[in-house]
């Protein structure tokens, strides 16, 4: 089995920053409610930037950070639930923008766990020797999927992209990845695919926007995530107390505090950038990792953990290099 490590990171957000006060100007909410319930203060919202554009900008940065050239990338996976097109894949469009030729390119949908799922696929394929240099991106323009009159969702979700490059190496640094799902919770977060009616089928889905049972998702996240983190560390010889930094999906600061408490870990070890970016679904973990990079030292032990629609969840245990 070949070893794998991360060799480059990148991040991109739309230009427009929208504060809680900006949202409270057109909907019945307040900065106080949003910040105290979620930890979010501000977010970036597309005024035209596409998922492909954000993904390409993050990927270009990750490529420069890794020192690789575009022609060395042989696998591109984009985790997204908000592609610009169902076909071609966002991954093929990113490959075109970056000048990546002949790579295997595809998109993967696992909502807010998307980056962990895509990383598991890429890392496994490098471990087994099929590829050498994989570009894994989480990219979303969720602002086009939320009902901007629904205060339950529109204050939470936002736009952005994060990218990581995984490369083959002698010393393995991606120690373990563990993903899971529970389809019984599939109705808790839904986003319909709005293809039009056909000549033979005039039934239209009455749901147009994203819907979420926030309280139920909160209960699921605060139960499944600490268990999954314990499980990913099982048999590695490490405990949650040995971990230097936890990077969770940036959905809610209270979820992170609850997970910290359940794992008996200081919540200062849980990296947070959701105050600036909100919940960017598949993009949130690689964006947070890109922001956390300046604080990381070689040998640091990291847990990355995602959870979201599906229901899906998953964690990765990494040694930083």
Question: Active site residue: 133, 154, 249, 273, which one?
Answer: 249
Which residues of the chain form beta strands (DSSP E)?
3-12, 16-19, 42-45, 75-79, 104-108, 133-141, 159-169, 174-181, 189-190, 211-212, 245-248, 301-308, 312-319
Stretch that binds ligand ACO, among 63-71, 121-129, 149-157, 229-237 (CB under 6 A): 149-157
Q: Please say whether the beta carbons of 169 and 5 come within 8 A.
A: yes
Task: Write down the least CB distance from residue 59 to ligand ACO, Å.
Answer: 22
* Residue of 2, 16, 22, 37 that binds ligand ACO (CB under 6 A): 37
Question: Which lies closer to ligand ACO via its Cβ, residue 131 or residue 220?
Answer: 220
Taking the C-alpha atoms of residue 41 and residue 34, their distance in angstroms, rounded to an integer, is 7
Stretch that binds ligand ACO, among 2-10, 31-39, 174-182, 263-271 (CB under 6 A): 31-39
Q: Answer yes or no: 249 catalytic.
A: yes
Rounded to 10 deg, the angle between the 284-292 and 51-66 helix axes is 30
Question: Which lies closer to ligand ACO via its Cβ, residue 8 or residue 162?
Answer: 162
| 254 to 273: interface string for ligand ACO, x by CB under 6 A | -x------------------
155 binds ligand ACO (CB under 6 A): yes
Taking the C-alpha atoms of residue 187 and residue 184, their distance in angstroms, rounded to an integer, is 8
214 binds ligand ACO (CB under 6 A): yes
288 binds ligand ACO (CB under 6 A): no
Q: Answer yes or no: 92 catalytic.
A: no
Q: Annotate 93-131 with DSSP letters as a single string.
A: HHHHHHT--S-EEEEE--GGGHHHHHHHHHHHHHHTTS-
Task: Give me the residues paired with residue 316 across strands.
Answer: 177, 304
Stretch that binds ligand ACO, among 47-55, 66-74, 214-222, 290-298 (CB under 6 A): 214-222
111 binds ligand ACO (CB under 6 A): yes
Q: Which uninterrupted H or E stretch holds 214?
A: helix 214-233
152 binds ligand ACO (CB under 6 A): yes
Question: Active site residue: 92, 93, 105, 112, which one?
Answer: 112
Nearest CA to 91 out of 72, 81, 104, 110 is that of 104
189 binds ligand ACO (CB under 6 A): yes
Given the rule CB under 6 A, which residues bind ligand ACO?
A: 29, 33-34, 37-38, 111-112, 151-152, 155, 189, 214-215, 217-218, 221, 251-252, 255, 281, 308-309
């Amino acid at each position: 089995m070949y070893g794998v490590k991360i060799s480059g990171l990148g991040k991109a957000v739309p230009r427009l920053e929208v504060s809680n006060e900006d949202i409270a100007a057109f909907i019945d909410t307040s900065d106080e409610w949003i910040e105290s319930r979620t930890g979010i203060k501000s977010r970036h919202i597309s005024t035209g930037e596409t998922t492909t554009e954000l993904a390409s900008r993050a990927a270009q940065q990750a490529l420069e950070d890794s020192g690789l050239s575009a022609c060395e990338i042989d696998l591109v996976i984009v985790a997204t639930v908000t592609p610009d097109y169902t076909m071609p894949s966002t991954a093929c469009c990113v490959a075109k923008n970056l000048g990546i030729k002949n790579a295997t390119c595809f998109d993967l949908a696992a909502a807010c766990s998307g980056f962990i799922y895509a990383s598991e696929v890429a890392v496994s394929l490098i471990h087994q020797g099929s590829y050498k240099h994989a570009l894994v991106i989480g990219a979303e323009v969720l602002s086009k999927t939320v009902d901007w009159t629904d205060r339950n969702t529109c204050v939470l979700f936002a736009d952005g992209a994060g990218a990581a490059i995984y490369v083959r190496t002698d010393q393995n640094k991606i120690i373990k990845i563990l993903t899971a799902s529970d389809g019984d919770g599939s109705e808790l977060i839904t986003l319909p695919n709005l293809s039009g009616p056909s000549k033979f089928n005039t039934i239209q889905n009455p749901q147009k926007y994203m819907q979420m049972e926030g309280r139920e998702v909160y209960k699921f996240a605060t139960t499944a995530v600490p268990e999954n983190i314990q499980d990913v560390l099982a048999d590695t010889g490490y405990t949650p107390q040995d971990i230097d930094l936890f990077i969770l999906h940036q959905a809610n600061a209270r979820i992170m505090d609850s997970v910290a408490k359940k794992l008996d870990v200081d919540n200062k070890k849980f990296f947070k950038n959701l105050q600036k970016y909100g919940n960017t679904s598949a993009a949130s973990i690689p964006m947070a990792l890109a922001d956390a990079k300046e604080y990381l030292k070689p040998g640091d032990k990291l847990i990355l953990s995602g959870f979201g629609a599906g229901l899906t969840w998953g964690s990765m245990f990494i040694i930083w290099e």
